[in-house]
Amino acid sequence: MTTPKFKKFKIEAYKPGKSKFKKFKIEAYKPGKSKFKKLKKIIKLSANESALGMSPRVAKIISNQKLNLERYPDGKSELLRKEISKKYKCNFEKIICGAGSDEIIQMICQLFLKPKDQVVVPQYSFLMYRIYANIVGAKVVFAKEINFKVSITEIIKKVTKNTKIVFVANPNNPTGTYLTKKEIIELRKKLNKRILLVIDDAYAEYMKNEDYKSGLELFKNMDNVFILRTFSKIFGLASLRVGWGYGSKKIINALNIIKPPFNVSHIAQLAATEALKDKKFIDQSIKHNFLFAKKIKTYLEQYQIFSNSISANFLLLDFKNCKHTAKYLYEKLKQRGIIVRSTEDGYHIRNKLRLTIGSKQENLAFMNAVKNILN
């Protein structure tokens, strides 16, 4: 099995006194809004956070635990990695934990990329792939999507001798579309073995379609595939910033050299470990998501607002056939204290909105607001 090449670091000691810094020509990440001025009561459906919050088991253990906050956390996240290994039946030594999967994306880019290297990302994808690649000086190339779905043909067209990484989120954010098991296997086969395929499984737990398999399920034993996972979605721990990556021992060992020494807090490790054990809560979250995603999707179709098939905890709403624009509904919802995600910021997708599936009360409030606005 071929392991893609990565950099070896010869690091010079810090030399104080210089005040110059690099200037980046990068469009900064713009998160979904979380508040509006003059509005105290907000329903936030813009960031794909957990509809049901955190597991009751997590809440209980955090409230009952005597936390020694003066102590550094376990820099290797050993208990968490053991629990991940147990739940997903994967190799403990091939797991690395980070302050959200964002940090692991950053480390992967630091490890594999140098100036003039090339990274291929789908036309519409998680913005941090391009941002971290750009920071290290790599060239980001966008592969056209077909009907807002990742295209294997278009990705392969963009690959050159300088391509080092291909990033794919599956299901994809913000489009909600996905590659089937057959398609993602085909992509790995068509890519040169030296290219690292990074598959982001952030929304994998929500996917129940028979033609889908997560990256972790398909590529556990492949040295040229790296898997990203997060605790921010189904596990409801977005505020704690904890995620993990899975790859070859060679890659994990190299990442551990450049990883910050205490990057995942003790509370985050504790909460994530307990969250993995609460199967009942995870099942409840999946059931809730599918029930309300289906209900909202059907409800909006009467206004000619259509969306992707249910694959994650959000819907990408298309206003092409609606008599009102996405911007019109966004502004009217905003006046009522309901925040959804504009896809024009960062993603540059016109006349669409991304809607997170919320709690029962939030979803009913959203549908009622739509009724009052569009009728």
Instruction: Kindly report whether the global pTM for this prediction surpasses the value 0.85.
Output: yes
Cis peptide before 171 (omega within 30 of 0): yes
Cis peptide before 261 (omega within 30 of 0): no
Provide the pLDDT for residue 22.
72
Please tell me the predicted confidence (pLDDT) of residue 62.
Answer: 85
Residues 178 and 240 in one domain: yes
Let me know whether 272 and 284 are in one domain: no
Say yes or no: 256 and 336 in one domain: no
Q: Which of 277, 307, 330 is the last residue of a domain?
A: 277
Task: Give the CATH number for residue 352.
Answer: 3.90.1150.10
Q: Please check whether residues 131 and 237 belong to one and the same domain.
A: yes
Structure-token match 């050159």, residue found: 160
Residue 20 is assigned to a structural domain of this protein: no
The predicted pLDDT at position 24 comes to: 74
**Domain assignment present for 212:** yes
Integer-rounded Cα radius of gyration of the chain = 21
User: In terms of domains, do 256 and 351 share one?
Assistant: no
Residue type, 162: N
Supply the pLDDT for residue 264. 97
Total of domains in the chain: 2
Distance CA 114, CA 168 (A): 20
Residue 29: predicted pLDDT: 73
Q: Is 113 helix (H, G, I), strand (E, B) or coil?
A: coil
Is 204 found in the same domain as 259?
Answer: yes
> Is residue 106 located within the same domain as residue 249?
yes
**Bridge partner list, 266:** none
Question: What's the pLDDT score for residue 301?
Answer: 98
What pLDDT does 19 receive? 61
Domain-located, residue 179: yes
Residue 84: partners with Cβ closer than 8 Å, 6 or more residues away = 90, 92, 95, 244, 276
Choose the final residue of a domain: 258, 277, 296.
Answer: 277
**236 domain-assigned:** yes
Is 8 part of a structural domain of the chain? Answer: no
Partnered with residue 339 across adjacent β-strands are: 44
- Residue 266 region, left (φ>0) first, then alpha (ψ -120 to 50), else beta? alpha
Asked if residue 293 and residue 272 are part of one domain, the reply reads no
CB count in 10 Å sphere of residue 153 = 12
Residue at 24 is within a domain = no
Residue 34 included in any domain: no
Which residues constitute the domain of residue 92?
Answer: 56-277
Please tell me what DSSP assigns to residue 11.
Answer: P
Query: DSSP letter string over 225-283?
Result: EEEEEESSSTT--GGG--EEEE--HHHHHHHHHHS-TT-S-HHHHHHHHHHHH-HHHHH
> 285 - beta bridge partners?
none
- On whether the CB atoms of residues 315 and 176 are closer than 8 A, the answer is yes
Residue 70 domain-assigned (yes or no): yes
Question: CATH number for the domain including 248?
Answer: 3.40.640.10
In what side-by-side order are the strands of the sheet with 225-230?
A: 95-98, 243-246, 225-230, 196-200, 163-169, 118-122, 139-143
- Digitized pLDDT (tens) for each residue of the chain, 375 residues in all: 677 877 777 766 566 665 666 777 777 777 666 666 677 789 999 999 999 999 999 999 888 777 788 899 999 999 999 999 999 999 999 999 999 999 999 999 999 999 999 999 999 999 999 999 999 999 999 999 999 999 999 999 999 999 999 999 999 999 999 999 999 999 999 999 999 999 999 999 999 999 999 999 999 999 999 999 999 999 999 999 999 999 999 999 999 999 999 999 999 999 999 999 999 999 999 999 999 999 999 999 999 999 999 999 999 999 999 999 999 999 999 999 999 999 998 899 999 999 999 999 999 999 999 999 999
Q: Measured in whole angstroms, how far is the alpha carbon of residue 253 from the centre of its chain?
A: 23
Strand pairing report for 225-230 and 196-200: parallel
pLDDT at 64: 74
Report the alpha-carbon distance of residue 168 to residue 185 in Å, rounded.
12
Looking at the fold, whether 146 and 247 belong to one and the same domain comes out as yes
Residues 191 and 87 in one domain: yes
Same domain, 288 and 209: no
Domain end among 247, 277, 307 = 277
The span from the CA of 252 to the CA of 97, in Å, is: 10
Query: How far, in Å, CA of 71 to CA of 134, rounded?
Result: 35
Nearest CA among 291, 296, 307, 300 for reference residue 373 = 300
Sheet architecture: strand order including 306-307: 43-45, 338-342, 352-356, 314-318, 306-307
CA torsion angle for 276, 238, 93, 85 (degrees, to 10)? Answer: 10
DSSP string, 40-55: -S-EEESS---TT-S-
Q: Are residues 207 and 110 in the same domain?
A: yes
Residue 264 is which amino acid? V
